[in-house]
Structure 1
């Protein structure tokens, strides 16, 4: 199977990338976090504030709170579920973070380049299990990172740089090759959470999806056969010149000559680590070796007008306590309850979700090429039907009128959500070719990360509005594509998100902070 066919199956026939006889070896599962051994430890503050809107700390204490809200282990839960055969019940134990992850496996890892007074300048790993930083490599790497980003960012002006990587085995052990799709979405959700949390701390950030992968993997001390860089995010307390793109292909010898190999060791628990050939192959093919490979995505022009435009109510920007929204955010599964939604609430949800975010993909206004479609039932003042959200005009473009809950329910591969109890079923939509023309095989993972970032804004906004969303990939994409007539636009559904009111889960939950 070549990579084009692999991506086609991954997106449209996911059952073909998982062997029919695949069995998950739960007893040999990896840990959901990376545990380095024998590295210098920098303890982080554990007195976490209950509101990010009241953040007044600085320096390492401020960073401690940011990292905990972005990717720390925030809670522990025990949930009792009935067995499928009706023979008794099963208790599921899980550690919770504020970002969603397929199967709760958290394949992403966080690294950070810091230049702060009071501790060594260098590259650190965020140890989520113990809420601490571990020093991987000491030194100043401003010029190295500036070069690895194609000289589009003067890293010397940044307070630090966040790195999001993926450890392939951490969710491959369960999902086989389908893990590749989840890895991009998970990394995107983490990036979306960083954007929301860092903005509350008055930090300016920009997400770079394009860089010289092997150089950054070397800097972080990664074995790219098991873990690789996915995104680079410089940040600072004021707007910097890294907001302008001026690609330069500087000779690597001019900025990377002093970076030596660094030896580290880590514990992952699994004894029998299987091979994942397609993920390794596409990761190698997606790597950039020169800034000349960097590209930009053109925002999609006007869609073909499909029907009546329904203007949405004008709404002011939503102001809410992000920490509270994080605490309340969860996936309701079978706990949705059928309750009408005011049109103004839907307008807030869509407008906040589609706010522009800063990345190196778009040369214009930062507005994503992704769009949102949805099927609505019981939204006050809106006929039941399928619609496309037009962010520029803040309106819903009608595609079909009708109640589509039953066909959407039939299209689900696992009945873990009762869509008849859900008033809002949204779909994040993207280009069917996954940016391959502009970015080659790197385009697929970037598009999934983009979808994950948008997804996290959607979930946090829903939580702030007293609702919740449940991200789903277990649905028949062709059914949804046909419903929205996406062949006309060359697009496809990337993820399905039922949103609505809910009743509390029957579970024991404990917070993991003081």
Structure 2
């Protein structure tokens, strides 16, 4: 069974990597924008608990690098948890920018507005849904809560102490200090339809990186707030999905993060009755929608049964009249749920050392990172078509970004140990217009903070090569300073962790991408993560054809013009 599941995941990853040359099914798919899901999942009828909205100035990115000026580790209060949720995944502002994106003109209209968040997400879909299981030590009534990203409130879905359900799912990894040391947990779930309505079969690849980006924000926010967090990626999701009332093919728990409370939290707010509105009747109407005539099936399989014990009975509002299932997403998700009974050594899945004479980079300019994390998260955005040069990106700016981003590969997690273990990823650079660095491709060596040459400037020039391999139209590569590529060894990761290794690898990739965004923002650089390059051609350019290493995600780095017609309305 394990080997069959590994084969399914390998087949899916191969389809993803070759999709620039061999399109993934369904062919000629058209997005139904009118029937898209709501960007903010809600549970009509559930009591709502307003969360504190004040956001304090936090430690700077520089402090997080050096370990200086950080608050003592003291656990979590409701205020600090509210800050974590809002800065990582809550709505922070409304944004309008002039860029080359095809829908830029629509964004001036309220119904097409872009609402900015601190964490990056592929296509701005934000498929992660966050649930809090509050135990007896919580400042809240014990039960299950959903974080409503649009209104910054907790929706109470169940009143019951169900901490044992989570502990059972975690197994031996429940707590290093004993089974009852932690009785509250954040459950990070993925709701596939929030992404697949646009990206169809490509969805699973994108959402597992989106999860990693959010966890990357949590990795930085936790020490800045003095509340420790560690991510669990190996657990049994079935009892948790039953608890939350999920159809596991449509939404599932991907990460469990224990929460240890302090006794300095503010009193729990009083739950206000949820407003009954047209939304409730719309949800009812949506549930009565007939079967789809599209080339996919309606998701209708029920989750759990009364015999499964306490579980959420509230139904979320579904805006879409037709919710489609894409067979490749369902198949790879069912396969990737499995994990190796006894994982191998993490080091066996790490990138191997490369030969070559290193090209030294200037020391990281950590003083350029001296902005509060709260400010950086609120300012982070994707560049789209706004790159402009000159002036050029400098080697020092590039090196600072590489060093801060690469550190995300050493995050504490159950699959890697408390020290973060070896990274499963490597950063590469396509140097296009970088002052102080010859044009060409390089591998980044974090241990030496240096670049290892991978290939010369392509015939016809780097800009022309990058533009030729990019199959979207929202970026002009001649204006980009450098393209960073995040790579991994998917086959080796699957050998070590089993089928779930695909999710482990993509989570780390998303974390590194988020850190690159934040480093660029602090340095007033532009950054944009893209999945629109031909991976096969990019691998060849880096000399990876005869290896098991592959590029997975790309980040564009450069400058924005100083004078722009942008608007950011802070909420």
Same fold judged by TM-score > 0.5? yes
The CA deviation at 1:488 is: 3.6
Are positions 1:322 and 2:370 aligned together? no
Are positions 1:179 and 2:185 aligned together? no
Task: Answer 1 or 2: which has greater strand percent.
Answer: 1
Please name the residue that 2:487 is paired with.
429
CA distance in 1, matches of 2:396, 2:102: 40
Please name the residue that 1:414 is paired with.
472
Are positions 1:387 and 2:442 aligned together? yes
Q: Is the 8 A contact 1:159 1:237 kept in 2?
A: no
Write out aligned runs for 1:152-163 (5 A).
152-154=173-175, 156-158=180-182, 160-163=184-187
Q: Is the 8 A contact 2:99 2:385 kept in 1?
A: no
Unaligned runs of 5+ in 2: 1-6, 61-68, 263-306
Q: Is the 8 A contact 1:18 1:177 kept in 2?
A: yes
Please name the residue that 1:361 is paired with.
415
The CA deviation at 1:436 is: 2.1
Write out aligned runs for 1:34-73 (5 A).
34-49=41-56, 51=58, 59-73=77-91
CA distance in 1, matches of 2:426, 2:326: 32
The CA deviation at 1:130 is: 1.3
Residues 440/302 of structure 1: CA separation in 2 closer, same or farther (3 Å cut): closer
Please name the residue that 2:319 is paired with.
269
Deviates more, 1:11-20 or 1:427-436: 11-20
The CA deviation at 1:106 is: 1.1
CA distance in 2, matches of 1:113, 1:291: 27
Residue 150 of structure 1: SS of its match in structure 2?
A: helix
Are positions 1:28 and 2:35 aligned together? yes
Please name the residue that 2:129 is paired with.
109
In the alignment, which of 441, 455, 470 is matched to residue 513 of structure 2? Answer: 455
CA distance in 1, matches of 2:416, 2:101: 48
Please name the residue that 2:302 is paired with.
none
Are positions 1:96 and 2:116 aligned together? yes
The one of the two structures with greater contact order (alpha-carbon pairs below 8 A, sep at least 6) is 2
The CA deviation at 1:397 is: 0.7
Residues 4/425 of structure 1: CA separation in 2 closer, same or farther (3 Å cut): closer
Q: Is the 8 A contact 1:136 1:221 kept in 2?
A: no
Q: Is the 8 A contact 2:424 2:508 kept in 1?
A: no
Please name the residue that 1:347 is paired with.
399
Residue 212 of structure 1: SS of its match in structure 2?
A: coil
Write out aligned runs for 1:308-319 (5 A).
308-315=357-364, 318-319=369-370
Deviates more, 1:18-27 or 1:446-455: 18-27
Q: Is the 8 A contact 1:375 1:385 kept in 2?
A: yes
Please name the residue that 1:204 is paired with.
228
CA distance in 2, matches of 1:83, 1:62: 36
Q: Is the 8 A contact 1:296 1:362 kept in 2?
A: no
CA distance in 2, matches of 1:369, 1:501: 29
Residue 491 of structure 2: SS of its match in structure 1?
A: coil
Residues 23/315 of structure 1: CA separation in 2 closer, same or farther (3 Å cut): closer
Are positions 1:370 and 2:425 aligned together? yes
Residue 269 of structure 1: SS of its match in structure 2?
A: coil
The CA deviation at 1:142 is: 4.0
TM norm structure 1: 0.87
Are positions 1:137 and 2:155 aligned together? no
Write out aligned runs for 1:393-412 (5 A).
393-402=448-457, 404-412=462-470
The CA deviation at 1:147 is: 2.8
Residue 253 of structure 2: SS of its match in structure 1?
A: strand
Deviates more, 1:47-56 or 1:408-417: 47-56
Residue 471 of structure 1: SS of its match in structure 2?
A: strand
Are positions 1:13 and 2:13 aligned together? no
Q: Is the 8 A contact 1:142 1:156 kept in 2?
A: no
Count how many residue pairs are aligned between Structure 1 and Structure 2. Answer: 490
CA distance in 1, matches of 2:253, 2:377: 26
Q: What's the RMSD between the two structures over aligned residues?
A: 2.9
Unaligned runs of 5+ in 1: 239-256
Residues 397/79 of structure 1: CA separation in 2 closer, same or farther (3 Å cut): closer
The CA deviation at 1:407 is: 0.6
Residues 272/293 of structure 1: CA separation in 2 closer, same or farther (3 Å cut): farther
